[in-house]
Every structure is written in structure tokens, then in C-alpha cells.
Chain A
Amino acid sequence: MPVHRAALSVPALVASLLGLSVLLLAAGVSAGSEGWSLNWRADADLISAIRAPRSLGAWVAGALLGLAGALAQGLFRNPLADPFLLGSAAGAGLGVVLVLVAGGAAGVTLGLAQAGWLLQAGLVSAAFVGALAGVLLTLLLAGGAARPMRLLLCGVVVGVLMGSLSDLLLILSPEALRGKQVFLLGTTGFLGWQHVAWMAGSLVWLLPLARRLARVLDALVLGEASASSLGLNLPRLRLGLVALMALATACAVSQAGLVAFVGLVAPHIVRRWVVVTHAGLLALSALSGGVLLLAADVLARSVIAPQELPVGVVTALLGGGYLLWLLRQQTRPA
């Protein structure tokens, strides 16, 4: 087993991540469509209206995803778990497609457009409700959160079912495809102050609540039976953790789309540098998730300015690249 090198202390990691966040926020505020510009006074209204909320929004969305990812990996005791495992991604996608289709010609024929409330709800609410609905369906199918294996399997089933449903709808209404593609690839472009407020407001109570349940995840390290023997009501507690994970994912995904890899990689980044219990891991994963998505957003808009890469592509490159590096580190002899 390779002995871990160069570890940081927890305060050092927190300081680094916070420092990175500040740097990236400064970068985010300077990265305009014309390239880099440090003349903040001249661009003041662009900064306040577009760049600042967008950068902050990316950070908060990333923090929510990082938290959800850490919850997922602790719940399923699998370092490759991500927050989209229980049908939240497919559910959000279906919600988005439903709204897009309802607005199109096919929606009229299907009578969907009669449900004016569908259109009124908008894409954001549809994605949010859809994500939660996906997880709820998974929980119903699995009969609660008592058996994690069954939960995972049902999550896969729900994901496939909802994915097929949305594909079916897309056949009827192909103009919705563009909208769905955009959603799938993730977009931070239109994050405004109200979106930031909404996401930050969610993070502010989701994180402490999750930390209160963090010891359950620690106990799960010992195994199901041992955790039970420590007096924990695992089915109920796991249900609570799943609910928190679903909410964090739904918040992030409804605003920023299905951003890949942030939830998966954020906890790995933390574990690479420090050894912490889950209470610390949840908070630090949120921090590193924020840094990751903000970095991706800044890159996405500065690399080919004034054009923009889809932020989900950049996170996949960054996150995937990091995982590759991690793999090479592990296979190297100690």
C-alpha cells in the first residue's frame, strides 16, 4: 500500500481553497467577452449585472454538487459514486423536456400545452421538481433506504426509464432537442443574483444539516452491520441523507444544468490532501466543488472568448484529467 505523501493539515487546506476561491472570483469578474480586463471601474455595470453573479453562482452551484457528491460516496461506500445515481439527473432532464415539448407544436397536439402551469413553471422549476421526483420514484421502488444495493439498482432503473421517456418525447418534438442538449452540457451563462441567492440560501441550511448526520457516514465505514450495532437506525438515517443529497443536487442542477464530474471529483480532491471524518469531508467537498466549477466557468469563457465552451465539457476535462492523474499516482509503486 503506498504511504500517502505530502498531506496538508485541515486548516491549510481550508485556507488554500478559500484563497483559490477569492483568486478565481477575481478572475471571474475580470474575464469578459473581450478577454481579460482589470479595469473594473469601467466595466462596473457588466461586472455587477453579469460577471459577479455568474461567478458566485458557479461557485455556489459547485459547492452544492461537491456536498452532494460527498454524501453519495459516503452513502454508497463507493469512491466512484456521484450525486446523479438515484435518478436525479434523468428526472431533471425529463422535467426540462416536458416543459420544452409543452411549449412546442407537439405539446399542443398532446394536450400538454393546456397545462399552462407547466409552461409557467419554467425550465428551472421543472428541472428541480424533476430531479426530486426521480429520487422519490427510486425510493418508492426500492421500498425506502433500507438496502443500499437495492436503492442503487432502482436508481439505475428509474434513470433508464425516465431517460427513455424523455427520448420518446423528443422524437415527437425535435425542436426541444436543442434545449435539452444545452441543459445536458451545463450552463452558467445566465446566473443572476436571484439564482445566487436561492442557491446560497439552500446551501446555508443543507450543509449544517448534512454535517449533523455525518457520523452516520463515518459509522458506515465499518460496514452495515457494525453501524447498526452501534445503535443507528440505518433505514431512517439513510433516508434523511438521501433526501439531503437529492435537494442539494436538485438545487444545483436546476440552475446550472447537468454539470458532470464536480460531485465525483470534489471529495477525491479533499481526500488526497487531508484525512478527515465525514463532518469535515462534507464541508471541504463543498469548498472544493465550488472552486472546481468556478474554475471551469472562468476557463469556459476565457479560452475562446468571446465564444464559450459548455461548462460541463470543461468540468469533464478537468475532473476526468484529475482522476486520471490520481489513478497513475496509485499504480505507481510506493
Chain B
Amino acid sequence: MLGATVMTWSGWLRAGRCLALAAWALGSGLALADITVVDDRGHTVALKGPAQRVITLLPSLTESVCALQACDRLVGTDRYSNWPASVRNLPKLAGLEDTPIERIVSLKPDVVLAAVSSRAVDRLEALGIRVLALEPKSLQDTRRMLETVATVLGRPGEGERLWASIEGRVQAVAQGVPARFKGQAVYFEVATAPYAAGQASFVGEALQRLGLANIVPPAMGAFPKLNPEFVVRAQPGLVMASVDAVADMRKRPGWASIQALQQGRACAFPEAQFDLLVRPGPRLGEATELVAACLKALPAPAPASGARP
């Protein structure tokens, strides 16, 4: 049809008008977009204004939005976000494998904050929804994530301020860590097999701020799956894991020889606390407080302990 009309003079006029309209729309769109951020995929996401309706699909992102005083803008979260208590009443929009795309679209969010590994990201973007994929793995990532979220909420700089207060809190906690534990190497177990939190992970970095070392060097990655013998050889000064894991550790072959376990220098965190420790979000300060509280209750390391030759 277009081909036929172009043949005539009026056809040319009409085509020209369409082009002009398109150019204006494009230009105005760009002109109205005053917020652009880059997410963890490297994608640039542009918003017309501060996001007023926000959906978060990762607990740490939910917590970040609330920490930035924008809890009221949340219209939906994922199933596992449970802090603060007010978000529990919001529509639950995602589990591990399922994301109700239709429901998300019907809630008309201005932006969706999701994990990079979420499969919903591509689908939502294809439907015209703006998605920010953020999945912090280190402290630096967390800092960047907070500022990105703050920008998207129309409060640039709030992220940095929040980070500064977190840093300050961590500093304060670090000063309260008993001197007898300074420099001790920690073995932090995230899951059986065993998966450990190494120095390169945000957990490891946070522990480092508290003056603690890690038996897993940065070269081995953030959450490596270790040979159990490695842990026994390393003779960590401190062991940190969930309650179940610590109970299980003593039964593992060869682990009875780990002096930290023998002498009770193990922090066994209940499920809720452990969850907090492995969540890279605005409650990092609180997480470090948990660690410090545990440390204060532990006996001092025996002077003869050290790594196996």
C-alpha cells in the first residue's frame, strides 16, 4: 500500500509527514529521558523521570530501595524478600524458577530491579518494561548498586551517603572486635560440599574490614567449592557457618582435628542471621554487628595454633 501511495505527489507528502513525526517523537523521547544508568550487564537504561512504581526481584535490591527511604514506591517484590516487615504484604512476584510476567506487566512498573541471572529480564524488556539487572558480588559492587538504585529513584548521591553510613557503622564495629581475633584466618562456609566465602567475596571483604583474614585467597574466586582437606590443612582460627553446618562439621572425617572446632571458636548462626550475612545489601552494617557479637562471646585462640606446614 505504501508503495502505491508513494507513486503520487500526495503520497510523498504523507510519507514526509510520517518521517517528521517519527523524528520529533524520537527527539522528544530522548529529551524527556533525564535519568540514564548502566546496569551490571552493561546495558544503558533510560527513564523519563524518577521511578515511582518499582518492582524488585531480589531481596538485597528490596532492602536497598527501602534503605533509601523509597519503600512506599514498591509495588511488588520477590517471594524471598522479608525485610522490612512492610514488604511482606506486597504482591509476591517471583520465586527461583517462576516469574509471573503478565502480573508484573499489569502492575505497570516504571522499572524492575532484578538479578542478572534472572530469566525474566529478557522477556520483560521485550515487552517494553525497563529492567535494571543488578547482582552485587563484592563490596564495590554493593556500593555501585546502591548509587544506581538511588539514581533511578531520583535521589542521586543518596546511595553514596548510605554507603558512607554503612562504612562508618562497619568501622565502629571493627573497633569493637576483640584484639585477640585480629588477623585470625576465618573459614566461612556458605553451603555443604563445602562452598566457602573467600576473600574476594563481599562476605570476605566485610570480614576483612573487621580485621579478619580468610583461609581462601582472592585467587580462588568468591565462592569456591573446596576440597575438605584444604580446610583441615589450613587450620582456620575461626569457623563461621549456619548452626546445622557447624553441628555437622565435627562429624566430618578429619575435621575433628581442626582446633577452632575443638576449642569452640565457631560462630554458628541461626538461619535468619545466616541469611542476613550472605545478603549483599544495605544491612551490611548489621551483619558485621552479628559477627562481632559472636566473636565477643568466643574464647581466645590458643597461642600454639597455626596452619599446617
Q: Do chains A and B touch in the complex (CB under 8 A)?
A: yes
For residue B226, CB closer than 8 A to chain A, the reply is yes
For residue A307, CB closer than 8 A to chain B, the reply is yes
Pairwise interchain contact B227-A307, C-beta atoms closer than 8 A: yes
Which residues of chain A from 27 to 60 have any CB-CB distance to chain B below 8 Å in the complex? 32-34, 45-46, 49-51, 53-54
Given the known A-B contacts A32-B229, A105-B271, are A189 and B257 also in contact in the complex, defined by CB atoms under 8 Å?
A: no
- Interchain CA distance A175-B277 in the complex, whole Å: 13
Report the interface size class on chain B.
20 to 34
Taking CB atoms, residues of chain B closer than 8 Å to A307 are 220-221, 224-227
- Interchain CA distance A128-B191 in the complex, whole Å: 22
Shortest distance in angstroms between B241's beta carbon and chain A's nearest beta carbon? 12
- Interchain CA distance A45-B272 in the complex, whole Å: 37
Taking CB atoms, residues of chain A closer than 8 Å to B297 are none
Count A interface residues, CB 8 Å. Answer: 35
Pairwise interchain contact B253-A192, C-beta atoms closer than 8 A: yes
Please report whether the interface of chain A is mostly helix, strand, loop or mixed according to DSSP. helix
Taking CB atoms, residues of chain A closer than 8 Å to B191 are 178-179, 181-182
Pairwise interchain contact A171-B95, C-beta atoms closer than 8 A: yes
Pairwise interchain contact B229-A50, C-beta atoms closer than 8 A: yes
Report the number of A-B residue pairs with Cβ-Cβ less than 8 Å. 90
Given the known A-B contacts A45-B257, A46-B232, A50-B232, are A190 and B252 also in contact in the complex, defined by CB atoms under 8 Å?
A: yes
Taking CB atoms, residues of chain A closer than 8 Å to B9 are none
For residue B193, CB closer than 8 A to chain A, the reply is yes
Shortest distance in angstroms between B213's beta carbon and chain A's nearest beta carbon? 16
For residue B194, CB closer than 8 A to chain A, the reply is yes
* Contact indicator per residue, chain A 186-202, by CB within 8 Å of chain B (1) or not (0): 01011111000000000
Which residues of chain B from 241 to 278 have any CB-CB distance to chain A below 8 Å in the complex? 244, 251-254, 257, 271-272, 275
For residue A69, CB closer than 8 A to chain B, the reply is no
- Interchain CA distance A46-B228 in the complex, whole Å: 11
A–B Cβ pairs within 8 angstroms, 17 of them: A33-B226, A33-B229, A33-B230, A50-B229, A171-B96, A174-B79, A175-B271, A178-B192, A179-B191, A182-B193, A187-B192, A190-B253, A192-B253, A301-B229, A307-B220, A308-B225, A309-B225
Q: Which residues of B contact A (CB under 8 A)?
A: 79-80, 95-96, 190-195, 220-221, 224-230, 232-233, 244, 251-254, 257, 271-272, 275
* Pairs of residues from A and B, 10 with the lowest C-beta to C-beta distance, nearest first: A192-B253, A49-B254, A33-B230, A306-B230, A50-B254, A178-B191, A33-B229, A33-B227, A307-B224, A182-B193
